[in-house]
Homo-oligomer: A and B are copies of this chain.
Amino acid sequence: MAGDEEQLVHQNKQIVLKEYVTGAPTESHFAVTTTPVNLKAPEGSNVVVFKNLYLSCDPYLRGRMSAVHREGADKTDPEFTPYRVGSPISGLGVSKVVDSAHPDYKKGDLVWGGVTWEEYSVVENPKGIFKIPDPDVPLSYYTGVLGMPGVTAYFGFYDVCSPKKGEYVFVSSASGAVGQLVGQFAKLAGCYVVGAAGSKEKVELLKSKFGFDEAFNYKEEDDLDAALKRYFPEGIDIYFENVGGKMLDAVLLNMRLRGRIAASGMISQYNLEQQEGVHNLMNIVYKRVRIEGFVVLDFFPRYAEFFGKVLPWIKEGKIAYVEDIAKGLENAPAALLGLFSGRNVGKQVVEVARE
């Protein structure tokens, strides 16, 4: 009886991975294709049809462009599962329900969570999708300050780093989706915070908008160790690691006794076929430093705790959030790849549709 079912066929633009990436990804690794989609959810099917509004561009997506599952990673982590060549890629984003045959979803619902990079998504029994708990903020915030980067910054800083008032905090990739929040959380915790970013504009933003005590452009520093000694004559208690490689090496030389390093990511290494060597690890022994890797998925069960704190901070103006919004799905690959050259200023979002 398929022929009798109601049909509402649209053209659906998608971002497809053409081949697995070795080294640096380029736009030629992606295709923008169009395929027909039926926007009606078949009755009795548990299907939900989403219109995708905002896509989140995140560094970890680079790992999914490689052919091989990260060795030793949890195979159940969607964050680390390779994409399928010839299929549209996926990530996190914000969507609106345009039709639903599923009892938990109704037309007009706003959601955030796992999303395919396409205009419309037809999903049977959606998983990893959350209702937007408060639509009275920019919806794109659920890709950033109220989404995965926010949870990363919040628990990565407060839980993994165990900050104490007056401690010296260093944030790399500091104007990015996570870094700008870590810096602001550090100020709220009474810490002294310095950020590194990759342009004069970003450095200004860190100081004027996010309240970092100091900031510097790492691209203008020949000697990162010397730069850190200039900004941290007493050394670093807490390093929120987004970068890896040479930056981590310089930080290790400047850690204080019993310092903590929360390793959230190492974006400088993602496009290298051979990872850079880090030479100064002996510092962690005699300085009693703890380096701790963490994955934000582990903290999602505590989302409500995070939301209860951060939403009021946003509404009271205690936390600012800067987004870099690319418009149109066809511009999504360039927006995503811009992360690796630091083209974005603030959290990189793709606006597929406004509603």
Chain A contact residues, CB within 8 Å of chain B:
63, 70-74, 77, 79-80, 235, 244, 248, 253-257, 263-266, 269, 274-295, 298
In the assembled complex, the Cα of A282 lies from the Cα of B263 at a distance in Å of: 9
B291 touches A290 (CB 8 A): yes
8 Å CB contact of A290 from B79, B280, B292: B292
B288 touches A291 (CB 8 A): no
A279 touches B279 (CB 8 A): no
This protein's copies in its complex: 2
B281 touches A287 (CB 8 A): no
Chain B residues, CB < 8 A from A287: 72-73, 293
12 contacts between A and B (CB under 8 A): A63-B286, A72-B254, A72-B283, A248-B281, A263-B285, A264-B285, A278-B281, A286-B295, A288-B292, A289-B293, A290-B292, A291-B291
B283 touches A235 (CB 8 A): no
Shortest distance in angstroms between A313's beta carbon and chain B's nearest beta carbon?
A: 27
* Known A74-B257, A255-B72, A256-B72; contact A288-B279, beta-carbon cutoff 8 A: no
A266 touches B286 (CB 8 A): no
B285 touches A275 (CB 8 A): no
Shortest distance in angstroms between A248's beta carbon and chain B's nearest beta carbon?
A: 7
Chain B residues, CB < 8 A from A71: 253
8 Å CB contact of A286 from B70, B275, B292: B70
Shortest distance in angstroms between A77's beta carbon and chain B's nearest beta carbon?
A: 7
Task: Report the nearest B residue to A292, measured CB to CB.
Answer: B290
B282 touches A279 (CB 8 A): no
Chain B residues, CB < 8 A from A254: 72
A235 touches B72 (CB 8 A): yes
Shortest distance in angstroms between A161's beta carbon and chain B's nearest beta carbon?
A: 13
B244 touches A282 (CB 8 A): yes
In the assembled complex, the Cα of A244 lies from the Cα of B279 at a distance in Å of: 10
Shortest distance in angstroms between A232's beta carbon and chain B's nearest beta carbon?
A: 11
